[in-house]
Each structure stands twice: as C-alpha cells, then as structure tokens.
C-alpha cells in the first residue's frame, strides 16, 4: 500500500465491498481493497485492484490503508443477518474501532471524500413494532433507541462522521442501508440475510425434492430489500454529491417474509411447506424505507423490483447449492 489510488474500499472482501470495487474498476478508477479476512475467503478478488489483508480496527493499519487514497468508502464491519446480530451484540459494537480509526485516518490524510455505510438498524424501535409499518424517515432515528448492539454502533459512528465534518471539514457522506441482497454474497454459515437464506432453502428443496423449509418467526414480519446494483449506484451517487446528512438507501417495496417465500418458490417452480420456528431471531416486526429524501436530493431511488433481483440471486445461489451437494 505504497502508491496513491483513486479509492480505498474497506470491507472489500465482503458482499457489498466486492461489488463496489468491481464498479469502480469498471469506470477506470484505481482501487485499493482492504479486508481483515484472508484473500481466499473474500467474496470477490479483483486482480486489477491493490488487494491487501489488514485489520483497520487498528489505527496504524487504518492509516496505512488510507494513505494516498483520494476517496474512502468505509464498509468494514463485523456483522451478518439477524441471527448473527441478535447473538453477537458485543462483536457488533466492537466495529466502533474500525469506524472511528478509519475516519481518524481519513482526516489525517486529508481525503477528498469519506463514505460511511450505516444501517436502517439505527432507527428507533418504537417505529417498528407493527408489520403495517409507516416508512421510516431519516428524522426517525431520534430520539435515539436503535437496535441493540449493531444499531447503536452505527448511530454512534454516524455522529462521529457528522462531527468530523463540522469540526474538521472532512467531507463525510452517510447512507443507511436497508437489507441489501444479490449474487456473490454470503448464502450459508449463519451470517447470511433473509433473501439468501430463503433462496438457499428453496434451492435445496428443489434439488433434493424435500419441500419443507424452516421459516424464522411467523413470516408476517415486513421488510424492504434492495438489490446490490442499486446499492452500489446509490453509494457512488451519495459520495459524489454535496450533502453530508444521512440518507436512506433502500427499496420501498414492502413485503412480508411469507410473500418473499412465495416469490422465490414461484421462481423455483415449486411449492414448499413452511415450518415456522417462533423462537428464532426475527428482529423488528416491520421496517420500510421512506425514499422521499433521496428522491428530493438526487431525483433517484432504488428501482429494481424484488422479483427481478431475487430471480438473479436465486439462480446464483441454486448453482452454489447444487455444487455443494454434488
């Protein structure tokens, strides 16, 4: 990590980070990708990038990673799906070291732009108690009562970014992700999110002929899900613009988990029987993105339909499941 680059992507070995590196390289940018995982565990490794294994929760390694970068995209965090988040609150909170040290290093290096990936988990729980949820506006994060562990870390790190902008002039940009999914993501092992888990279960059912799947909760909890291509477009648009205030980055196509199972089952061409585990982690009862602000600022909001995104995601996960069973 000795030469200057247009962009640094932390968490480059992860799902969103790998897709972001790909998009930046496709536009001719020079990119440094950094992740704490060994290279053989990265979701994507792009030979055209400077790929480095480093722990940016350590200030010295964060400084080395940021050195010479014009723009920093900080996507690194210890996180996963609801099962991981609810059972690893301390680990999720420890990501504050990464968030703080990368921001501090970006300030010291006088980078032109610093993007921080926040989450819809910052929103106050009182707004998410019913499946018939009112879409969450940016202002609903306060008074603060975010999701325990992961949500608190994200909200604190948002405030750090705000104060580095106010006190030191760091050009920080913050997006609150709402349930990102797509190909080349985690699909098994306990850190996968609901779309990937459902695609895996239904692909397994289609391949094995065992058409009973386990569903966490009663399936009536509601969510919106954003396809990865929309997420990457939004990250770059928000980073390049001139507004430092956090903004929702997510679809506003609200569905129940049961409805998502219906969509994937239809894509797979099978009918599945559902065994509901009411003791499993299931998060808040309802959460949806209010896209009024992103449309007002940029004239754009994520537009890939859930069916289209799941069709592509299912095809990829089906291939992974088939290869793992063979």
Which pLDDT tens digit goes with each residue over 182-241? Answer: 999 999 998 899 999 999 999 999 999 999 999 999 999 999 999 999 999 999 999 999
Is the same domain home to 265 and 308?
yes
Is the same domain home to 16 and 111?
yes
Number of domains in the chain: 2
Residue 40 half-sphere exposure, CB side, CA atoms within 13 Å?
A: 0
Q: Of all helices (H) and strands (E), which one includes residue 266?
A: helix 257-268
Is the same domain home to 105 and 241?
yes
Is the same domain home to 236 and 316?
no
Structure tokens at 205: 């059912």
Is the same domain home to 84 and 157?
yes
User: Residue 32 pairs with which residues in a beta bridge?
Assistant: 8, 50
Query: Is residue 225 within 8 Å of 238, Cβ to Cβ?
Result: no
Q: What is the pLDDT of residue 84?
A: 83
The residues annotated with a catalytic role in the active site are 150
- Cβ neighbours for 132, distance < 8 A, ≥ 6 positions apart: 222, 286
Structure tokens at 294: 């992103």
Is the same domain home to 33 and 97?
yes
pTM across the whole model: 0.94
Q: What is the pLDDT of residue 86?
A: 83
Nearest to 30 by CA among 61, 64, 1: 1
Structure tokens at 285: 């009862």
Parts of the chain with a pLDDT under 50: none
User: Residue 170 sits in which domain range?
Assistant: 5-178+228-249
Is the same domain home to 39 and 78?
yes
CATH number, domain with residue 260: 3.90.25.10
Is the same domain home to 136 and 215?
no
Q: What is the pLDDT of residue 2?
A: 55
CATH number, domain with residue 25: 3.40.50.720
Q: What is the pLDDT of residue 78?
A: 86
Is the same domain home to 102 and 190?
no
Residue 140 half-sphere exposure, CB side, CA atoms within 13 Å?
A: 24
């Amino acid at each position: 990590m000795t030469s200057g680059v247009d962009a640094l992507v932390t968490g480059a070995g992860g799902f969103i980070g790998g897709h972001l590196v790909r998009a930046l390289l496709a536009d001719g940018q020079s990119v440094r990708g950094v992740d704490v995982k060994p290279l053989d565990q990265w979701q994507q490794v792009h030979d055209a990038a400077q790929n480095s294994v480093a722990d940016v929760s350590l200030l010295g390694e964060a400084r080395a990673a940021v050195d010479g970068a014009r723009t920093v995209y900080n996507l690194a965090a210890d996180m996963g799906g609801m099962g991981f988040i609810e059972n690893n609150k301390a680990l999720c909170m420890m990501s504050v070291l990464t968030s703080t040290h990368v921001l501090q290093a970006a300030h010291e290096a006088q980078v032109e732009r610093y993007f921080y990936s926040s989450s819809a988990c910052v929103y106050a729980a009182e707004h998410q108690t019913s499946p018939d949820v009112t879409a969450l506006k940016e202002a609903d994060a306060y008074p603060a009562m975010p999701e325990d562990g992961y949500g608190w870390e994200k909200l604190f790190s948002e405030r750090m970014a705000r104060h580095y902008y106010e006190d030191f002039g760091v050009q920080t940009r913050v997006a609150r992700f709402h349930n990102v999914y797509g190909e080349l993501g985690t699909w098994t092992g306990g850190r996968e999110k609901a779309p990937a888990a459902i695609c895996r279960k239904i692909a397994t059912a289609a391949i094995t002929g065992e058409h009973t799947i386990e569903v966490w909760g009663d399936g009536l909890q509601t969510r919106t899900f954003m396809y990865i291509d929309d997420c990457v477009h939004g990250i770059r648009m928000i980073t390049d613009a001139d507004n430092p205030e956090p903004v929702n980055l997510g679809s506003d196509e609200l569905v129940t988990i049961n409805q998502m199972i219906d969509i994937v089952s239809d894509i797979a061409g099978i009918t599945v029987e559902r065994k509901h585990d009411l003791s499993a982690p299931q998060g808040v009862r309802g959460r949806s993105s209010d896209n009024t602000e992103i449309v007002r600022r940029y004239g754009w909001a994520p537009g890939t339909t859930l069916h289209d995104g799941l069709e592509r995601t299912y095809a990829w996960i089906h291939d992974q499941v088939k290869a793992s069973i063979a």
